[in-house]
Structure 1
Amino acid sequence: MVTELRVHGVTGSPAEDVLDRPLLRRVAGDTDAGFFRPRAEYGAVTGPGGAMLEAYRWGNLTAGAAARALWLLLLPFMLANVALWLRPATRPGPRAVIRALTRVYALSMTGSFALSFVQISMDLVGWQCAAVPRCLQDRWWLGLFADGFFATTSRRLALAALLPILAVAFLWFLGRRTWVRYEAFPAQTEGDGDGLAHPCFWNGKPLVGRLRSIHIAFAYGSLDAVLLGVLVPHDRDHDYGPAGYTLAVAVAAVLVLCVVAVTVTPVVDRDNPARWARPFTRLLSHLSVALTALVLGYALLARDPWPATGKMPVLGGTVTGLFAVQVVLMLVLGAVVLASRPRGTYLQGLAGPLIASAGLGVAAAFSAGLSYRVADYLDRRSRPSTPDYANWHPLQPPAAYEWAAGGFVLLLLLVVLVALIGGVPLVSRLRRNARAVTDADFPGGRGRDAGQARHVDHAVADARVTDHIGRMLVWVFIPAALAAVVATGFALAGRRPIRLAPSGSPAAEVISFAVNLGTYLIGLSAVLLVLVGVLAYRYQRFRRIVGVLWDLGTFWPRAAHPLAPPCYAERAVPELARRAAWLAAEQGGVILSGHSQGSVLAAATVLQLPPEARARTALLTYGSPLRRLYARFFPAYVSDALLEQVGAVLAQPRQELGQHTPRWVNLWRDTDPIGGPVASAAARDERLVDPPGFDMPPGDTVFPKVDGHSGYQLRPEFGAVISGLTADLTEPQVPA
């Protein structure tokens, strides 16, 4: 008997909702990802069209609400990883350059993470606060910095270094734990992995393990470099000088090797790395841990006391310099993409640099907001930046963070301006154009009830906004990028925003207000981000917004940033392929039925099926973002050629015609903001009218509901398609 294997979308729907059956049993898989069927003893084991019902629930692979809230705080890592996959389809030369630049950028983001904790713990607490009696007053938990063994400056820094060391260690633990749970799922390991059609595309375990070792080594190396940058100049004329210089050379070598390692093919090639690649990267991580221990021991050596005044040396320049390098990487990456992109690429191929820059902005904003909140708490003040700075010496984060706080306000203003200037007229125009769709679907309906007609107009128009979001993001990105370049120049020169105006002047008041507002808005944004993550799977509105972005980002393997949220598809696709192959070959046939993101998983699964299973497999997609989102943003991986390949796998030889017809049907609606037509000869697109009727049904008190992205399987057309595909799978096959 043919089985309809349903794969849910980004909402993480329970299997009971996916099958519309209350009593189920798990027939394969586990609690993270499992296959469910209705319990036969209660009847109704078949669905519309007569196929046996089965659901694949993979929602737990993307973590629960609490875990997602934690992962959202590492959003910059996810954006850095996604940037690798957003590249346009280019020649091998530019492709290698784009990959190298993206991986170096991802490595720098790990360095920024480590430096943000260094700044909070070592600079604000160990250097600045510990040297100010007023800051230590009435704070027993800072007593170790005041007197005793850790009273000297170098030992205070060593003690304060424990926080960033533990933060990096937690990242290491989290990365390894998810590596074992996701990337370790059995998958084919031979062949070319650069494409969804290749089985080892979903075998990311070896590469992620190597990259993780490199990133951990770079994080610890960044911490060691800052600490040695303070101690070595002080020890220049002391007996400890040679030991400090030796450690500095070793740390510099580790950092350089990390940068080189993420760019050379023998290390980062997923399928055919050099035999020495894994031992080499493991050695880097172990060496970095050993060097960190030696650097801490070096800092704990007895030294003559020396005063800690102002900001901690080296750190401010390191933070600013790293940010400048990241900005340059984005500019170079954008130039390479523009020079090598094919004509007609969506957003000129700049989706990768745009998303990576967004990750850089989020990382800088989070670091700045956290630093200022800690500084305010330690210094017991309510205003991070005051216009009268002539004789003011508070605890102060680096100048780059102050620029980031002001830039956050500028970014919000840009978003509001673009929404008002571009978004409002766009929505009005789309609603006018949507009238034609409503009038064609419901002739005479506008005359019977103008309000219901407007409601349908708005649903169609709002769904079409998705097609214009990319252009609006570019309008925000260009001025924001220019502002980032200017701010980086001022930060490199050591100029804080407040010092662009005379102390106490009205201009200084305005700048001070903008910076202070930015620090508080950043903190509020971080809290809201966590709150959205917690609410994402409780309320449909949050679930749809967060779910789409989250599952788009975590669909792709961690090939750029190994500490990003894990890739659920590295388990889901091989697992689906194994189950579908068994159902097709041993159980009479299978219809892979995918909704939304589930349609992407289903299409990728088709490409993994063994030849003996393909003749008994069909594909039904609905609300599918394959063409509308994936083909636009990921053109190197979801293209016309790939869609045609999916159709070719499912082509059905017809006895009476002697030709092939596709066994892929795609349902879509004009009111769906995510899904759309496949627009390929590989599939048969069928448009559903939404809502299903215009007038209020007899005996009802409300108008028919606009389903938009949901409820496809409840429509009669859905059952008719299943029935037709079932007939195709059960009729005698003709040799191709």
Structure 2
Amino acid sequence: MPTQPGAGADTSEDTAVRTAPEAAGTAAPPVALELLVHGVGGTTPALMLDDPRTVCLAGDDTAGIHRRACDADAEEHPETHRDGPVPEAYCWSNLTSGNGSRALWLLLLPFMIANLAHWMRPPSTRRRLGVAYEVLVRLIALTLTVLLVAAACEVALDIVGWQCAGRSGCSRHQTWLGFAAAARGGWWSEPGRRLALAAVAPLALTGLLWWLSRRTWSAYESQRPTGGWTPSAPGTAHRAVAAPGTEAGAEPPALALPGFWYGRHSVARLRTAHTAAALATVSAALCVPALRHDHGRGGSVLAALGWALAGLLALLTAVAVVAAARARRTEDDLDDATDRRATRLLLIGSAVVLAAAVLYSGWHRPGWTSSGRLPAAQTFTTLTVLQGALIAALAVIAGLLHRTPTPLSGPGPTGRREAAEAAASTVAAGPTATSGPTVATDPAVPTGSTGRTSPTEATGSAKPAQAAGLTGPLEPTAAPPRGVALRGLAGPAVALLACALGGVLTGGVAQRCADWLDRGPTPGEDGSPLAGPPAVLMWEASVIPAVLVVLLLCGAAVMVRLRKRERALYAQVEGLYPDEPHHPFRTRQIAGAIARAGLTDSAPLLIAVVCAAAFALGAGAVVGAWTGSGTPGDTAAGAPDVLAACARTAQALGSWLVGAGVVALVALGRRAYRDASARRTVGILWDVGTFWPRAAHPFAPPCYAERAVPDLSWRMASWTQATGGRIILSGHSQGSVLSAAAVWQLDPETRGRVALLTYGCPLDRLYGRWFPAHFGPDRLRALHDDMHAWRNLWRRTDPIGGPVHLDPPHPAGSSGGTAKAAAPVDRGPLLDPVAYGRSLRHPLPAPVLGHSDFQADPAFAEERAALLAELVCSSGRTAPRAGTLPAQGGAQGSSGRSSG
């Protein structure tokens, strides 16, 4: 993390800098700063600043603030930067990229998906339902940890230690297993000792997960954000700041709370609970087989000890479940407590019970042999049914939350026309009608094509957007659709996908390992020495081909829809370029880009279809395991030949497909981490998944925003405090989300000095629809009302970004009672490509830019200049303070680098 302003510096000198008298009227105006934040796929400081000579002012190779070498001391020479802002780049690409080993995080994809379900809660004022929703998601996440460790136990303890080592037909083909084979009759040949030895594998997995979570927790969650206090008071206790768009008694947005990006306490508690549950799972896998053997022999001392150990396991499991359920985030304060005594006690208790289970299982029992599957094989069926019940309850609560009306921070759906009329009348009244400056509008600028009126620049009137060739006529479906995804059921749907993916991977891996150990018939069938995995896992592996068929059908439907959409757009595309000769290939190229960009908005329908198929197939697997005679092939033995052949084929293909899928997933992850083009393809999904804090699952990939958002908010607060200047925060793609989150964390005074420029922005199109409680229309409107200015550029060819759909705010909605022009934030859709064919102005074919290169559009420079003019006129000019910035003593090392 960059050093906090004032930390380690001479406080007397720092105070002198802040209290130095200002030479108003004699000093040059403060420097304006354009803070650039890149988006998906990452980039380099040299590309962002368009200069190979850059210096790192603050930060490190992971994330840092960079400038051109010639601008390193721009604050000391403000007279040289009168014509525009000083560009400064925040590079955070290495927070989500790096060496190929980080691709192994993709194997924990179900954990990340479950964590997303926590943040997809519909907005509502019913707090008890909201708390119940969060508790259910945390419990679902806990079952995923148990499922992963149980899968490791199934492979290591059941298939290897219990079945293969206990059967000479299998162990004689595995020389590495010979010392523990039952046929050898050695010390390790007893079933309980084989199980204790095999337990090393799931214990190693648990330790690895704990270590990864602990390491990333220290690097991300343990870094303190601004915490609601400004750098002007280093060392003082933090105080709450006014949340954007909130009034007295109103609930502030969660993203504006000081502890939102500080999950130190909750993640520590979750990590302890999940680790305890994982250790309890291993202990149960060791204890249950021995207890069943001892119980069958009558009232022996070992049986009594086994029942006592089982009682301790049940108590430990209950404590872990309660700890996970109560590990709620503390967002309204910086909570440094980690409950060390309670967490240590729980971990020590888990370790003691595990040691007792190892001792109990390894105790000598004459005549004990292993046969069939490991006892308690029905655990997977019970776990699947439990996950289904939790998801059903989550769906009910999500539906109730979605039906609950929520008060909007700003004009509601029924009051937008009145708000727009009031704002328009205020603007028409002139500057004397308000306590602050207003933005003049140019009546010559047409509004029908742009969706907004361009503000007049301080140096002259703005160019009409239509004359500049920036936009074309809007079609009814030009803007992406709005509304909460899946009618508020996005969280349960995503949780179902996480559980289905975990179950399919578990069944496929177990079946694949059994196939590898058994070199004869398929495990579980006649002639095989192995009984194979539990029936439910074999059924879950067998549904993989059916899931792939559903996905292929969905893909075919999408392609058909895409072609229809392209043909429907032909006439509209040609209408965007009325004065140019048309060519079918060029028209098809542009129409195809627009149609493909619209596929993003079909994601809710695709996820709904996949979830329905996953639920039906999962329920069929459970029913088949309970009522069938074993494997899918055996169950379909009496069916017609076609069905029997399909069942056997699905069972044989399932494990192979899972193995191939895991290899492909890791290969794709390695390529995405090391190759920029591949990272841009899949990067948006990964960046959305790892943007959110680990509120439900501590073993999910770390949240990069817990580093990036404090970096940005600290930089803006410290720079404006030291210089009195203004900032244009320029965010592209995922960088626009980070920028908005950082503005939410600023104090009102600093927020009033910041203007936001976003482009390729997914705030409404993705985040607003899938995470409405945090980025819904009311939250974005509240943020806009409390900011000085916000402009958003978007294209119809962009598959990620879109408009933010903000209505004109109340005249008194902005901070300080300043009225704003009744103009939406959005400018667009921008024309893409800027020219249809070759011309004198465009001698070469103009490319379809889509999600990239917004700076190449003339609208970008116009909006940036307009924002700068508004900032300069907002509250007069404040002279720069004496001294230099704490973070600008020259270069602190080499410039940051991004992978790929």
- The Cα of 1:546 is off from its aligned counterpart by 1.8
CA contact (8 A) 2:97 2:673 kept: no
Say yes or no: does 1:365 pair with 2:495. no
| Partner Cα distance (1:209, 1:698) in 2 | 63
Whole-angstrom CA distance in 2 between matches of 1:280 and 1:565: 25
Q: Tell me the equivalent position of 2:412.
A: none
Q: Counterpart of 2:122?
A: 88
User: Per-residue displacement from partner, 1:692-724 (whole Å, max 9, x unpaired)?
Assistant: 111125598852110100111233322222222
Structure with more relative contact order (C-alpha pairs < 8 Å, separation 6 or more): 2
For structure 1, which segment, 704-713 or 405-414, has the greater mean C-alpha deviation from structure 2 after superposition? 405-414
Q: Is 1:323 the equivalent of 2:458?
A: no
Within the alignment, does 1:617 sit opposite 2:647 as a pair? no
State whether residues 523 and 530 of structure 2, in contact with CA within 8 Å, keep that contact through their aligned partners in structure 1.
no
Paired-residue identity, %: 38
**CA positional deviation for 1:591:** 1.0
Picking from 671, 675, 693, the partner of 1:535 is 671
Which residue does the alignment assign to 1:214? 273
AA of the residue aligned to 1:75: L
What CA distance in whole angstroms lies between the structure 2 residues aligned with 1:463 and 1:275? 46
Which residues in structure 2 correspond to 1:506-585 (within 5 Å)? 506=641, 507-539=643-675, 542-585=678-721
CA-to-aligned-CA distance 1:171-194 (integer Å, 9 cap, x gap): 000000000011111122876997
Whether contact under 8 Å (1:261, 1:268) holds in the other structure is no
Counterpart code for 1:18 = M
Q: Return the offset for 1:150.
A: 0.9
Distance (Å, rounded) in 1 between the aligned partners of 2:586 and 2:82: 30
What amino acid maps onto 2:552 in structure 1? V
Note closer, same or farther for the CA distance 1:274–1:720 as it changes in structure 2 (3 Å cut).
closer
- Indicate how the Cα distance of structure 1 residues 537 and 476 shifts in structure 2: closer, same or farther if over 3 A, else same: same
Distance in 1 between residues matched to 2:318 and 2:82, nearest whole Å: 61
Report the structure number with the largest CA radius of gyration.
Answer: 2
Distance 2:858 2:74 in 1: 17
Q: Residue in 2 aligned with 1:631?
A: 768
2:496 is the alignment partner of 1:496:
no
Alignment partner, residue 456 of structure 1: 590
Cα displacement (A) at 1:556: 0.7
Is this contact kept in 1: 2:518–2:528, CA < 8 A?
Answer: no
Out of 111, 117, 120, the position equivalent to 2:155 is: 120
Gaps of 5+ in 1: 652-662
Q: Distance in 2 between matches of 1:514 and 1:413?
A: 11
Greater displacement, 511-520 / 236-245? 236-245
Cα deviation, residue 312, structure 1: 0.9
Post-superposition CA distance 1:464-496 (Å, at most 9, x none): 111122112212322331222232222244643
User: Per the alignment, do residues 352 and 734 of structure 1 end up closer, same or farther by CA in structure 2, a change over 3 Å counting?
Assistant: same
The 8 Å contact of residues 114 and 141 in structure 2, kept in 1 or not, is answered as yes
CA distance in 1, matches of 2:82, 2:665: 40
Contact 1:402 1:497 in 2 (8 A): yes
- How far residue 277 of structure 1 moved from its aligned partner, in angstroms, is 5.4
> Does residue 243 of the first structure (1) align with residue 302 of the second (2)?
no
> 1:155-234, aligned counterparts within 5 Å?
155-187=193-225, 188=227, 195-234=254-293
Match of residue 657 from structure 1: none
> How many angstroms does 1:684 deviate by?
2.1
Whole-angstrom distance in 1 between the partners of 2:35 and 2:805? 24
**Aligned-pair distance for 1:373?**
2.0
Question: What TM-score, normalized to structure 1?
Answer: 0.92
Count of equivalent residues: 717
1:129 correspondence with 2:137? no
Contact 1:48 1:718 (C-alpha < 8 Å) held by counterparts: no
**Partner residue of 1:424?**
559
> Which residue number corresponds to residue 465 of structure 2?
none
**Kept after mapping to 1: 8 A contact 2:751/2:787:** yes
Mark the CA change 1:271 to 1:290 in structure 2 (over 3 Å): closer, same or farther. farther
Shift, 1:70, TM fit: 0.5
Shift of 1:385: 6.2
**Paired amino acid for 1:646:** L
Q: Which residue of 1 aligns with 2:9?
A: none
Evaluate the alpha carbon distance shift between residue 184 and residue 264 of structure 1 in structure 2; reply closer, same or farther with a 3 A threshold: closer
After TM superposition, the structure 1 = structure 2 runs for residues 393-472 of structure 1, keeping only pairs within 5 Å, are 393-420=529-556, 422-445=557-580, 447-472=581-606
Distance 1:121 1:638, change over 3 A: same
1:295 equivalent in structure 2: 357
Matched, 1:350 2:412: no
Match among 142, 146, 161 for residue 177 of structure 2: 142
* Corresponding residue number in structure 1 for 2:88: 54
> Is the contact between residue 269 and residue 338 of structure 2 (CA under 8 Å) also seen in structure 1?
no
Residues 402-457 of structure 1, C-alpha deviation per residue, up to 9 Å, x if partnerless? 1111221111111112232x313321332234335423321144x43221111111
The one-letter code matched in structure 1 to 2:867 is L
Say if 2:539 and 2:621, in contact at 8 Å, map to a contact too: yes
Residue matched to 1:691: 833
Q: CA deviation at 1:321?
A: 0.9
Deviates more, 1:106-115 or 1:355-364: 355-364
Change (3 A) 1:83 1:439: same
1:658 corresponding residue in structure 2: none
Q: Secondary structure at the match of 2:791?
A: strand
The one of 56, 70, 73 equivalent to 1:26 is 56
SS of residue paired to 1:592: strand
Identify the range of structure 1 (18-27 vs 143-152) with the bigger mean alpha-carbon deviation. 143-152
Note if contact 1:4-1:53 (Cα within 8 Å) is conserved in structure 2. yes
Deviations 1:228-274 (A, max 9, x none): 11111212343322222221111111111222222347x66565899
User: For the residues of structure 1 that align with 2:81 and 2:106, how far apart are their CA atoms?
Assistant: 38
TM-score normalized by structure 2? Answer: 0.76
Distance in 2 (alpha carbons) for counterparts of 1:373 and 1:292 = 28
Among 787, 790, 797, the residue aligned to 1:664: 790
Contact 2:116 2:491 in 1 (8 A): yes
- Cα 1:13–1:47 change in 2 (3 A) is farther
Task: Say which of 702, 706, 721 aligns to 2:848.
Answer: 706
Instruction: Indicate conservation of the 8 Å contact 1:51/1:722, yes or no.
Output: no
Deviations 1:80-135 (A, max 9, x none): 11101111113212212211111110000000010010001000111001012232
Equivalent residues of 2:213, 2:699 under 8 A apart: yes
Structure 1 contact 107–561 (Cα < 8 Å) conserved: yes
Output the CA distance in 2 between the equivalents of 1:418 and 1:307.
50
The residue correspondences of 1:25-44 to structure 2 (distance < 5 A) are: 25-40=55-70
Answer whether contact 2:732 2:760 (CA < 8 A) is retained: yes
- Give the structure with the larger helix fraction: 1
Whether contact under 8 Å (2:835, 2:842) holds in the other structure is: no
1:376 Cα deviation after fit: 1.6
3-state SS, counterpart of residue 440 of structure 1: helix
Check if 1:607 corresponds to 2:669.
no
Q: Which amino acid aligns with 1:500?
A: T
C-alpha displacement of 1:523: 1.2
1:565–1:405 CA distance, 2 compared to 1 (3 A): same
User: Contact 2:196 / 2:361 at 8 angstroms: preserved in 1?
Assistant: yes
Correspondence for 1:375: 514
Deviation at 1:65, TM superposition (A): 4.7
Cα contact 1:405–1:518 (8 A) shared by 2:
yes
For the 8 Å contact 1:194–1:201, the answer to whether it is kept is no
Question: Match for residue 424 of structure 2?
Answer: none
Deviation at 1:354, TM superposition (A): 1.2
SS of the equivalent of 1:531 reads helix
Partner of 1:656: none
Mean CA deviation greater in 139-148 or 709-718: 139-148
DSSP 3-state at the match of 2:773: coil
Per the alignment, in what secondary structure is the counterpart of residue 87 of structure 1?
coil
Would the alpha carbon gap of residues 504 and 667 (structure 1) be closer, same or farther in structure 2, given more than 3 Å must change?
A: closer
Can you give the 5+ residue segments of structure 2 that lack an aligned partner in the other structure?
1-30, 228-237, 241-250, 405-482, 810-823, 878-900
Are 1:64 and 2:98 an aligned pair?
A: yes
